[in-house]
């Protein structure tokens, strides 16, 4: 059985004094802007957020961009500015480009809570809730070492889009930890633009250029799905170990049928639940915790039944 990394981290706490007008006093409106629409990670996050908002007597509306894309997400955030919610829960699609639009909503009186991804500028959000993504990357590297079982070879890391705080931390956590396994050598991090097709072709190219390729670490759902396609097309399923991040229905199916050797599952519903709790605390002038994390679990085929509660949902 593989280790499961669980961490609940409290960096600092204190009430947050945002300034600015626009959001109406006593407003019970929360807005959630995920990274992308119709995607099991963010759907599960939204389910957790909706349930908690209902429990606390708040109204949560969700609007997600069609793609994980900063200009598309900016349009949605800008549209909130005219009638700002009491709090905006957001997964910034770019750690820098989303700063201006988010700051704009904050200046109109909305409390800002980051869910999943975060801005580089840590002064904007009242609270940030995410997985411990660096720890997730480390866990993936330890799992990769276990799977290699002493065999030597090269490993490819697939990231999504530059500026995505979560996947960048996973890739770095993985690469840092892999240095402790001398028989495994990283051939570097490649970006896929969060497109499965690009992930598939990066794997195809890596297999051609690196005959001793022994493993692929895919830092999220889309890169994992594309990497699985790349390995399948080359007849390398099982011969090259694939570790994915997330636990979408198609990734779980892939784990079951041997296309993935392990998945690092997040707990998106808990990120949504905690996000709403922090947003409401900020609105009501109660103590807010600046940084919170949700649990991660490394799951293999052998223990997938016991871990089925971590599989993501397609609807609430």
Binding residues vs ligand T6T (CB under 6 A): 35, 39, 41-42, 116-117, 164, 166-167, 220-222, 245-246
Give the angle subtended at the CA of 245 by the CAs of 33 and 62, to the nearest 5°.
Answer: 15
Distance of closest approach, residue 116 Cβ to ligand T6T, in angstroms:
5
Residue closest to 253 by CA, chosen among 204, 201, 214, 301? 301
Rounded Cα gap, residues 19 and 15, in angstroms:
13
**Sheet strands side by side (includes 262-265):** 184-191, 153-159, 213-218, 241-245, 262-265, 297-299
Nearer to ligand T6T, 142 or 166 (CB): 166
Distance of closest approach, residue 34 Cβ to ligand T6T, in angstroms:
8
Residue 207, classed as helix, strand or coil, is helix
Distance of closest approach, residue 210 Cβ to ligand T6T, in angstroms:
25
End-to-end C-alpha distance for the chain, whole angstroms: 30
Nearer to ligand T6T, 41 or 311 (CB): 41
Nearer to ligand T6T, 133 or 154 (CB): 133
Nearer to ligand T6T, 86 or 158 (CB): 158
Nearer to ligand T6T, 5 or 207 (CB): 5
Distance of closest approach, residue 245 Cβ to ligand T6T, in angstroms:
6
Distance of closest approach, residue 236 Cβ to ligand T6T, in angstroms:
23
Nearer to ligand T6T, 84 or 226 (CB): 226
Residue closest to 296 by CA, chosen among 174, 208, 214? 174
Residue 272, classed as helix, strand or coil, is helix
Tokens representing 38 are 């119709």
Rounded Cα gap, residues 262 and 242, in angstroms:
7
Distance of closest approach, residue 269 Cβ to ligand T6T, in angstroms:
13
- Helix (H) or strand (E) holding 60, with range, is strand 59-62
Rounded Cα gap, residues 279 and 285, in angstroms:
10
């Amino acid at each position: 059985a593989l280790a499961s990394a669980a961490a609940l981290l409290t960096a600092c706490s204190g009430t947050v004094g945002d300034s600015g007008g626009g959001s109406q006093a006593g407003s019970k409106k929360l807005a959630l802007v995920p990274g992308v629409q119709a995607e099991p990670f963010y759907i599960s996050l939204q389910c957790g957020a909706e349930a908690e908002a209902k429990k606390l007597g708040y109204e949560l509306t969700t609007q997600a961009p069609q793609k994980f894309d900063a200009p598309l997400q900016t349009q949605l955030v800008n549209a909130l500015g005219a009638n700002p919610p009491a709090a905006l829960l957001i997964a910034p699609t770019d750690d820098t480009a989303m700063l201006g639009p988010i700051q704009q909503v904050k200046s109109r009186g909305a409390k800002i809570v980051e869910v999943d991804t975060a801005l580089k500028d840590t002064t904007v959000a009242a609270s940030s809730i995410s997985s411990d993504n660096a720890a997730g990357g480390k866990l993936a590297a330890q799992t990769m070492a276990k799977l290699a079982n002493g065999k030597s070879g090269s490993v490819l890391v697939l990231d999504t889009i530059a500026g995505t705080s979560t996947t960048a931390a996973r890739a770095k956590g993985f690469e840092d930890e892999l240095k402790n396994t001398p028989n495994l050598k990283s051939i570097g991090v490649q970006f896929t633009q969060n497109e499965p097709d690009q992930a598939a072709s990066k794997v195809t190219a890596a297999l051609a250029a690196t005959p001793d390729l022994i493993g692929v670490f895919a830092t999220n759902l889309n890169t994992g799905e594309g990497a699985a396609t790349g390995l399948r097309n080359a007849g390398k399923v099982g011969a090259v170990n694939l570790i994915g991040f997330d636990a979408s229905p198609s990734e779980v199916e892939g784990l079951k049928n041997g296309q993935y050797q392990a998945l690092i599952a997040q707990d998106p519903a808990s990120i949504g639940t905690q996000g709403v709790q922090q947003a409401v605390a900020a609105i009501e002038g109660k103590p807010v915790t600046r940084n919170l994390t949700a649990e991660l679990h490394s799951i293999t085929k052998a223990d997938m039944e016991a871990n089925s509660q971590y599989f993501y949902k397609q609807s609430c």
